[in-house]
C-alpha cells in the first residue's frame, strides 16, 4: 500500500501557486484496509475515503472503461492490482496527471512537467474524448492560467471540436455546465473560458445565445471592434478587472444578448436590443439552472445598461423610477453592481479600456441622496395610502435633482 499526492496540488506546487486542496490516490489497497486504518468511506461511484485526521480525500487507484453516454457512462474498477500509471492515464490533462510520493519524488509518466514549462494544456490520451465534461474543464483551465501564458494544445483543441460536433455535449447536465461556468467566473480571465468554448464549437451547443453574437456588427464609431461577440469577450475581460464579484462578471457577459436577434436588415443598429435580451437571459438561465441572484442581476444589467450610460441626461424622476424598477430600496447593493457592470461594458471596447466613466459615481451619488429621504415625516404630515408613495417619489426626485444641479455646477 502506497499513497501519492495527485492532481492539482502537484501541478500548482510546481507552478509556485498556493495549493488550496490536496487529493491523494492509494495504490495497492482494498476498501477494508482503509476502513481498518480509520478512514471513512464517502464515495458512491468508486471508493473514496476521508483521512481520519486531515479529512482529505484518498481515492483507491482505479481504471475507467466507457460503457455508456455522457460523463457518467463509465465502469470503474478499483482494486489493489491497479497501478499508479493506470490511474493517472485516465485523467484529463498531462499537467493534472502527475503524482508525488512520500519522499517528494514526482511521478510524471505523461510529461506533464514538460507541458507546464511549455505552458501547454494537452490531453493525456485518446480516452479524453470519452468524457464531454472535459471540454468545459479545459476551457476553465485555459481561463485560470491564461495570465501565465497557457494555451490549449492544437491536438487537444481538435479533439474538443470533434466532441462538440459528435453530440456528446448534450449529455451534460445543467448543474455541471453551470459549475464549470461559475468556476471560470472566479478565474483571472473569464473571457478565455468563453473564447475557448467558441473555438471548440462548444459555445454553440451549450450557450447558443452568446454564440449568436459573433459575426453580428455594431456601428464602428461606437464599437471599433465592430463584432458583438468580440465586444462581449472584451467586456468579460474588463469586468474581471473591475470586480471580483462573480455575479457582476456573469451579468456583464450577458448584457448584449438581444443584439444576437437583431434582424440583418437593421444592422449595424440594434434598436430595443435591451428588451429582446431579457427573454434570452431568462431562457439561458432557466436552461442551465443559474442561481436566482445571478439571473436577477443579469436581467437588470441587460434591461438598464443603456439608461446607465446616459444617466446624466435622464430626468431626476426617470432615474428615481429606475431605482424603483430594480428594487434598489430593499436591495441597495444592486446599484453598485449595476454601474460596475455598465462601466465594464463601456470600457470593453478597443481603445476605451482606460476611459473615465463618470456615470458610475453620478448614479451612486443620486441613489445615496434619494435613499436618504425619510418616509416618516411624509406620514406625519398626513399623507395616506398611495399619496405616501407619490410624495416619497417626488422628494426622492428632488434629491436627485440636487445632485444633478451640483454636477452641472462642477
Average pLDDT (365-394) is 96
In what helix (H) or strand (E) does residue 117 lie, and over which residues does it extend? helix 112-117
CB-CB contact of 215 with 225 (8 Å)? no
Q: Where are the domains of the chain?
A: 1-118, 371-409
Topology of the domain covering 1-118: Beta Polymerase; domain 2 (3.30.460)
pTM value is 0.93
Q: What is the pLDDT of residue 76?
A: 81
Q: For residue range 126-150, what is the model confidence (pLDDT) as tens digits?
A: 999 999 999 999 999 999 999 999 9
Q: Which of 19-33, 205-219, 321-335 has the lowest mean pLDDT?
A: 19-33
Confidence grade of residue 27 (pLDDT, cut at 50, 70, 90)? very high
Q: For residue range 215-231, what is the model confidence (pLDDT) as tens digits?
A: 999 999 999 999 999 99
Instruction: Write down the mean pLDDT value for the chain.
Output: 95
Which DSSP string corresponds to 316-360? Answer: HHHHHHHHHHTTTTT-THHHHHHHHHHHHHHHSSTT-TT---HHH
Whether the predicted pLDDT of 303 surpasses 60:
yes
Write the CB contacts of 118 (distance below 8 Å, at least 6 apart in sequence).
none
Q: Cα–Cα distance between 207 and 195 in angstroms, integer?
A: 12
**Nearest 5°: phi and psi at 265?**
-70, -15
Confidence grade of residue 407 (pLDDT, cut at 50, 70, 90)? confident
Q: Is the dihedral angle over the CA atoms 341, 343, 348, 354 positive or is it negative?
A: negative
Amino acid at each position: 500500500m502506497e499513497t501519492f499526492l495527485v492532481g492539482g496540488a502537484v501541478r500548482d506546487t510546481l507552478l509556485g501557486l498556493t495549493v488550496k486542496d490536496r487529493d491523494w490516490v492509494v495504490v495497492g489497497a482494498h476498501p477494508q484496509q482503509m476502513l481498518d486504518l480509520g478512514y471513512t468511506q464517502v464515495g458512491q461511484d468508486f471508493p473514496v475515503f476521508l483521512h481520519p485526521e486531515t479529512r482529505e480525500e484518498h481515492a483507491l487507484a482505479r481504471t475507467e472503461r466507457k460503457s455508456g453516454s455522457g460523463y457518467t457512462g463509465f465502469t470503474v474498477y478499483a482494486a489493489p492490482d491497479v497501478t499508479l500509471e493506470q490511474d493517472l492515464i485516465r485523467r484529463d490533462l498531462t499537467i493534472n496527471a502527475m503524482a508525488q510520493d512520500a519522499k517528494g519524488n514526482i511521478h510524471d509518466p505523461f510529461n506533464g512537467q514538460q507541458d507546464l514549462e511549455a505552458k501547454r494544456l494537452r490531453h493525456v490520451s485518446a480516452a479524453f474524448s470519452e468524457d464531454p465534461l472535459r471540454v468545459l474543464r479545459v476551457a476553465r483551465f485555459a481561463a485560470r492560467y491564461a495570465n501565465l501564458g497557457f494555451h490549449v494544445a492544437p491536438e487537444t483543441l481538435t479533439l474538443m471540436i470533434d466532441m462538440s460536433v459528435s453530440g456528446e455535449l448534450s449529455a451534460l447536465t445543467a448543474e455541471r455546465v453551470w459549475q464549470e461556468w461559475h468556476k471560470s467566473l472566479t478565474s483571472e480571465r473569464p473571457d478565455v473560458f468563453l473564447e475557448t468554448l467558441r473555438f471548440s464549437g462548444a459555445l454553440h451547443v451549450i450557450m447558443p445565445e452568446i454564440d449568436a453574437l459573433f459575426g453580428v456588427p455594431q456601428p464602428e464609431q461606437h464599437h471599433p471592434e465592430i463584432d458583438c461577440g468580440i465586444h462581449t469577450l472584451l467586456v468579460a475581460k474588463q469586468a474581471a478587472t473591475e470586480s471580483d464579484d462573480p455575479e457582476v462578471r456573469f451579468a456583464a457577459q450577458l448584457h448584449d444578448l438581444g443584439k444576437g436577434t437583431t434582424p440583418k436588415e437593421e444592422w449595424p443598429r440594434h434598436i430595443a436590443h435591451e428588451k429582446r435580451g431579457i427573454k434570452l437571459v431568462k431562457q439561458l438561465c432557466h436552461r442551465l439552472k443559474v442561481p436566482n441572484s445571478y439571473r436577477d442581476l443579469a436581467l437588470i444589467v441587460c434591461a438598464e445598461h443603456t439608461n446607465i450610460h446616459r444617466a446624466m441626461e435622464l430626468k431626476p424622476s426617470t432615474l428615481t423610477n429606475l431605482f424603483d424598477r430594480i428594487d434598489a430600496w430593499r436591495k441597495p447593493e444592486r446599484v453598485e453592481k449595476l454601474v460596475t457592470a455598465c462601466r465594464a461594458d463601456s470600457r470593453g471596447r478597443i481603445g476605451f479600456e482606460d476611459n473615465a466613466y463618470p456615470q458610475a459615481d453620478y448614479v451612486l451619488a443620486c441613489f445615496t441622496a434619494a435613499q436618504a429621504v425619510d418616509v416618516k415625516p411624509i406620514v406625519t404630515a398626513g399623507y395616506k395610502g398611495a399619496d405616501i408613495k407619490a410624495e416619497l417619489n417626488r422628494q426622492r426626485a428632488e434629491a436627485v435633482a440636487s445632485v444633478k444641479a451640483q454636477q452641472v455646477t462642477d
